[in-house]
Chain A
Amino acid sequence: MPQWTLFGLHQGSASTRWPAAGADAGQAGVLGMPRLDARRCQAGCSDCADACITRAIRIEPEGAAVRVALDYGRCVACQLCVEVCPSGALQTSPDWALAVRERDDLVWREALASAPARELASGVRRVFGRSLHVRHVDAGSCNGCESELQALNNPFYNLHRLGIFFTPSPRFADLLLVTGTVTYAMREPLLATYDAMPEPRWVMASGTCAVCGGVAEGGYAGGHGLDGVLPVDVWLPGCPPNPAALIHALLLLVERAAPTFSRGRHVD
């Protein structure tokens, strides 16, 4: 044992100071959701929509013309639309912190109307202060989301430093963090977990599968995510959301971070 104690002391702290200080969120090089500039779209082109297996991009008729509809809640950041786009209307971006409080904020709109600042009706901060206890339920994921959630407790992200903890029992949980598409067999255990949580309680849909069903949406066994299953307070698409995106979403819930995404666009 002493060699491990010495080893630990010698190694020192490996944790990032982000987001309190510094910019090292650990995601250098990670490709996020693509950005769209519809003014550069070519008439009659539907290459991006044809390549999008989760139907995040659709070409919709609008009167005599057509328009591009883009829903980041359905995006798995596969980058295929960027690759097939002939005119550069779609570009890669580092946008991975997509947590929002309204599902609608993930839908890209042509005109960016100035929206009034929204208050979080839930008042999480008033109830819990700055801390949070999280119960995770895997409702049918590919294990990518779990891999990143488990990473939150590695020394680099060290979630505990932010006063956020995973708890085994739903009885002690403030937040139900759901991953996966909600398969037919996980629906009941998921609802039972929610029912076992004391009020007030919050729900986060984490990962594109939990937001809309993702690549496994529908079919004989897959579901459509949490929409219509549980009341969702934070939506976080991503395939999977990386640990920094998860931290941003958790801090967004306890009002310690601001959304970086609104009305389908990154806000700087």
Chain B
Amino acid sequence: MNGCESRTLAAAGLVDACTELLGQGGRMQFAYAWFPEPGLAELRYVTAPAARRPFVAWKVQAPPAGEVPSLAHVSPLLGWYEREITDLCGLHFAGHPEPDPLVLHDGASAARAPLSPGHDADAALCLQARPLRLPELRTPHAGREVQLLPFGPVRGDVLESAQFVFMYLGEAIIWYQPRLFFKHRGMERRFQGLRADLGCLLAERVSGVGSVCHALAYCQAVEAACGCVPPPRALALRMLLAELERLYNHLHYLGHLCHTTTLKVGEAEGKLLEERMKQLLARLCGSRFGRGLLTPGGLRRDLAVPAGWAAQLESLCGQAGRYGDMLEATQSHLDRLQTTGHLDRRVAFDQGATGPVERASAIDRDLRRDHAYAGYAALPLVVPVREAGDAHARVQVRLGEIEASFALARHLLDALPAGAWRAPCTPVPEGEGLGWAEGPRGSVFYAVHLDAQGRLARVKVKSPSFSNWRVFPSTVHDSNMMDYAINEASFGLSIAGCAR
């Protein structure tokens, strides 16, 4: 696989290899399965031995009969990937601690696993609704008046669809489970058979507010597979778009968090700054989400920075700075954030937290620096890290990132390379590539496999919210209902990216 190193392992050696990796300070990134040919299933585990060293993809051939050992006991974050592989590829894992469907809805059934060979592309899933499966309550709660609240999937306000199931006693939440895959659209399957350049349009639409980082990771995966290097101007403009995306997302995050703490003027200001950033993005590239620019090989067209545009960005930078200072000086707002939704460093690591969430729990990691891509290695990058692990720390990390992203954008605009913006990117038959980007919410990975005709055979999408939703419930158990909305907002999660 291009873009990383490869290592072939036997299924029986997985547990030892994973234990060794973690023991040496490495970490698992994500896992997926694909079918190089009918009847032959191959698992891929993408691992990071250490910062500033290449990722290593483990190739494991699934035994034709029998199961693959589950690694969820060794590296808990893999639990969700294994369940996804079972749902979509029909492979089973021995000794999985939670062997329930994840991506497919409870009660959904298909004649064949949707990503397995021979699955009819148009065959829809059957859904037979089932009652909620709830945990059995033992002492000290058994027999007390525990309330059940299944909230959603259609919730108040303009929100993405998901169901949150609470069991609570008074204000105290005893048990919480998010059901996140009502919106599962089968996006990975939609890539299959497409031309590699057209796949970018799909990548832009996996998670709308992550259009640029998804397109960037996708393009880099295809470029790795095809041995293509985009010209410097394309790389610089890609980084500019990616930083603008981070900015409008973080400004929205601050405004939305004020909504949950009922700081009304703070909410209005945050969302106004977000709007101004989206309008700037549209004036630069024609899309409020930065869509329609990236393509494997570079950019689809050149961008000219409009007159006065950089000055407006500078003015927005000043406004955002003042806004952040005011938020940090508002004690009533901070009181609701401090100690709320505490995420321990160990839990954050084990469960695979990513982006600002892990950096607020003292894990100093950013793909832009640790696995530099697209030219970030040459930029003066600041990575804010906080130790506290609470909602306030998650805010402070983002406040620091807003400042850092404005600085990066300024740096890029000052020294925009001239020249070509696109290099030819000819699909390599049976090419394979890994691409990644640090999006506003954390790490995005794309693994791309091309078929004998150079079309997309398998595209695996790892979105940041898939990781952070896995972590989030651990901060909800034993908390209280009043803090729930604040805690959820402080994670800044997207459901579309998670459900795909």
Which residues of A does B touch, CB under 8 Å? Answer: 1, 3-5, 7-8, 11, 14, 26-31, 51, 53, 76-80, 83, 92, 136-151, 153-157, 166, 168-170, 180-181, 183-186, 188-190, 192-193, 214-216, 218-222, 239-240, 242
Contact = CB atoms under 8 A, between A and B. Distances in A.
Given A138-B183, A146-B159, A221-B186, 18 more contacts: A3-B330, A28-B279, A30-B282, A80-B300, A137-B161, A142-B207, A142-B208, A143-B496, A144-B208, A147-B252, A150-B271, A154-B255, A184-B105, A184-B124, A184-B125, A186-B153, A189-B161, A239-B291
Contacts of B263: 4
Contact of A220 (B181, B183, B186): B186
Contacts of B154: 137, 170, 189-190, 192-193
B158 A219 contact: no
B496 A142 contact: yes
A146 B284 contact: no
A27 B127 CA distance: 41
Contacts of A77: 292
B185 A222 contact: yes
A147 B276 CA distance: 14
Interface string B169-191: 00000000000011111110110
Contact of A143 (B119, B122, B288, B495): B495
Query: Which 10 interchain pairs have the tightest Cβ spacing?
Result: A144-B208, A168-B156, A31-B286, A221-B186, A154-B271, A143-B496, A29-B283, A216-B185, A4-B265, A142-B208
Given A30-B287, A151-B271, A155-B268, A144 B209 contact: yes
A136 B329 CA distance: 35
Contacts of B127: 184-185, 188
Given A83-B301, A151-B275, A216-B190, A28 B282 contact: yes
A150 B270 CA distance: 12
A216 B202 CA distance: 8
B431 interface: no
Contacts of B276: 156
13 contacts: A26-B275, A29-B284, A29-B306, A77-B292, A141-B183, A141-B496, A150-B271, A155-B275, A156-B272, A168-B155, A193-B154, A215-B205, A222-B185
A149 B275 CA distance: 12
Which one of B121, B129, B182, B330 has the highest number of Cβ atoms from chain A below 10 Å of its Cβ?
B182
Which one of B122, B129, B153, B332 has the highest number of Cβ atoms from chain A below 10 Å of its Cβ?
B153
Contacts of A139: 161
Given A53-B201, A215-B202, A220-B110, A185 B209 contact: no
A155 B469 CA distance: 30
B304 to A, nearest CB: 11
Contacts of B266: 4
Nearest to A4: B265
A216 B187 contact: yes
B180 to A, nearest CB: 11
A186 B190 contact: no
Give the contact-size bracket for chain B.
35 or more
A250 B333 CA distance: 35
Which one of A137, A170, A185 has the highest number of Cβ atoms from chain B below 10 Å of its Cβ?
A185
Contacts of B329: 3
B208 A154 contact: no
B35 to A, nearest CB: 16
B108 interface: yes
B158 A149 contact: yes
Interface in B114-146: 114, 119, 121-125, 127, 129
B282 A27 contact: yes
A5 B186 CA distance: 47
A84 to B, nearest CB: 10
B206 A142 contact: yes
Contacts of A180: 161, 183
B269 interface: yes
Nearest to B281: A29
A122 to B, nearest CB: 24
B365 to A, nearest CB: 25
Contacts of B114: 219-221
Nearest to B263: A4
Given A144-B208, A189-B161, A183 B184 contact: yes
A183 B182 contact: yes
A152 B96 CA distance: 45
A1 B258 CA distance: 13
Contacts of B275: 26, 151, 154-157
A142 B456 CA distance: 21
A53 to B, nearest CB: 5
A76 B286 contact: no
Contacts of B121: 218-219
B309 to A, nearest CB: 10
B403 interface: no
